[in-house]
């Protein structure tokens, strides 16, 4: 092992609470890498996957085909995230518990995206997206676990608030890169992958990762494997309520992102050639408010020593944004709705992540437990494409009805926070 590799890993005991405050260099590199991981997911979901499918089967059949691809991929993510979280917690490689899976996830996910870009048919798109989901969730599980690994409790609101900027920042960067390479389908898929790889590998190279000793690990068992996907709500009620809240909010978000291109095409009557730029402008309007809400909300949460009031308010604001989108009929109204959604989403994702880390059942298995939580982030991406066509069919193809349902889901997410007792 080289000297640089020795400095990049830190042997740990079975359980530890980070005590040293992290500096701005670590926060900056972590934020850039986390945003890059989000970019790998969002660039296809926001624009290129829908356009690829539309090019293969036409606008009439595209929603159903997208529902199949996104739904199956999300179901795979439900299994992949907690499983790779468990594997990350048990990894004894000298390269590190988290760094190992960041590299594996990045390489495998990029190959999956490449397969989607080159796919000549929907079945090949489906296979490629499943490969991408499998490995990108390995990356995401390891990346998320860095927060409880490295950041002390007193800074988690601040760091989580900054991480809350990552989703909209990734959305803006992704749609910008896609728009930049409009007309070249291969580059529309691969340019976000190349940009993301730079920042992820930079973080991997500088992270002082944990290294776990083999003798600290219990033997594998079927019970332990089953526990990778489940936490008893009777033993951990606060974590379960946080899970339900995240599920409801992300379900609302999934309705918006998965069907945003079709909303613009069908509901607002946009031309197909205008969709990439309109999605970019919408995500830009959203991101501006997310940045303000996420960074400011996270710091306020740390100072106030409270999480719940911020999360409840954020989910309610996001619900209001969905109702705005349900009512508007002009692109300008779409931008207003996206801006309001940014305010709610930014505050929610910032403070809710800090709240969840505060109620984790066991620090020794943080990646696994966060993987279970990430089921709440993956399952809606499967459910939304499955039930949205039903909502559209019942409502006569009304995207207003679809986004009204999304608003109700967000309000349910606000209500689910109220029973939590161990965090104020």
Question: What is the pLDDT tens value at each position of the chain, 424 positions in all?
Answer: 333 333 343 444 344 555 578 788 999 999 999 999 999 988 888 788 888 898 888 877 887 888 888 878 878 887 887 888 778 877 888 888 889 999 999 999 999 999 999 999 999 999 999 999 999 989 988 998 888 888 887 777 778 778 877 877 787 788 888 888 887 889 989 999 999 999 999 999 999 887 777 766 666 655 655 555 556 667 778 888 888 898 999 899 888 877 888 888 888 877 777 888 888 888 788 878 888 887 777 777 777 777 788 888 999 999 999 999 999 888 889 999 999 998 898 888 778 777 877 777 666 555 566 767 777 776 787 788 778 888 988 988 888 899 999 999 999 999 998 888 776 6
CA dist 184 and 189 (Å) reads 9
**What is the per-residue burial (b if ≥16 Cβ within 10 Å, else e) of 257-274?**
bbbbbbbbbbbbebeeee
Residue partners of 163: CB distance under 8 A and separation at least 6: 30, 31, 34, 147, 294, 349, 350, 353
Q: Are 311 and 348 in contact (CB under 8 A)?
A: yes
Q: Are 168 and 62 in contact (CB under 8 A)?
A: no
The predicted pLDDT at position 368 comes to: 61
pTM comes to 0.69
Catalogue all structural domains in the chain, each as residue range(s) with its CATH number: 22-208+219-417 (1.20.1250.20)
CA dist 376 and 248 (Å) reads 8
pLDDT tens figures, 221-237: 556 555 555 566 677 78
CA dist 280 and 222 (Å) reads 46
């Amino acid at each position: 092992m080289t000297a640089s590799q020795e400095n990049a890993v830190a042997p740990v005991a079975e359980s530890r609470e980070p005590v040293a405050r992290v500096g701005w260099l670590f926060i900056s590199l972590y934020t850039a890498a986390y945003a890059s991981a989000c970019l790998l997911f969002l660039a296809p979901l926001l624009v290129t996957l829908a356009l690829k499918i539309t090019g293969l089967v036409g606008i009439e059949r595209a929603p159903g085909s997208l529902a199949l691809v996104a739904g199956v991929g999300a179901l795979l993510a439900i299994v992949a995230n907690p499983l790779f979280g468990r594997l990350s917690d048990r990894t004894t490689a000298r390269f590190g518990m988290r760094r190992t899976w960041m590299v594996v996830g990045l390489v495998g996910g990029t190959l999956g995206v490449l397969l989607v870009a080159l796919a000549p048919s929907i079945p090949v798109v489906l296979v490629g997206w499943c490969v991408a989901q499998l490995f990108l969730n390995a990356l995401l599980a390891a990346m998320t676990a860095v927060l409880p690994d490295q950041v002390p409790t007193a800074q988690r609101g601040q760091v989580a608030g900054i991480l809350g900027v990552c989703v909209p920042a990734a959305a803006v960067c992704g749609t910008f890169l896609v728009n930049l390479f409009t007309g070249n389908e291969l580059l529309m898929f691969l340019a976000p992958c190349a940009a993301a790889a730079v920042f992820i590998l930079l973080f991997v190279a500088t992270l002082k990762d944990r290294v776990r000793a083999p003798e600290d690990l219990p033997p594998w068992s079927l019970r332990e494997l089953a526990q990778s996907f489940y936490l008893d709500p009777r033993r951990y009620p606060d974590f379960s309520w946080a899970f339900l809240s995240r599920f409801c909010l992300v379900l609302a978000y999934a309705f918006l992102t998965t069907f945003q291109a079709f909303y613009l095409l069908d509901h607002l009557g946009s031309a197909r050639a205008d969709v990439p730029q309109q999605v970019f402008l919408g995500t830009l309007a959203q991101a501006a408010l997310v940045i303000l809400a996420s960074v400011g909300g996270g710091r306020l949460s740390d100072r106030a020593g409270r999480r719940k009031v911020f999360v409840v308010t954020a989910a309610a604001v996001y619900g209001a944004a969905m109702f705005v989108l349900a009512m508007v009929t002009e692109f300008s109204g779409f931008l207003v709705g996206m801006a309001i959604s940014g305010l709610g989403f930014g505050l929610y994702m910032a403070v809710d992540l800090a709240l969840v880390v505060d109620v984790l059942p066991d620090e020794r298995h943080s990646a696994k437990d966060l993987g279970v939580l990430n089921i709440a982030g993956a399952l809606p991406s499967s459910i939304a494409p499955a039930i949205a066509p039903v909502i559209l069919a019942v409502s006569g193809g009304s995207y207003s009805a679809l986004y009204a349902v999304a608003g109700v889901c967000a309000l349910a997410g606000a209500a689910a926070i109220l029973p939590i007792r161990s965090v104020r």
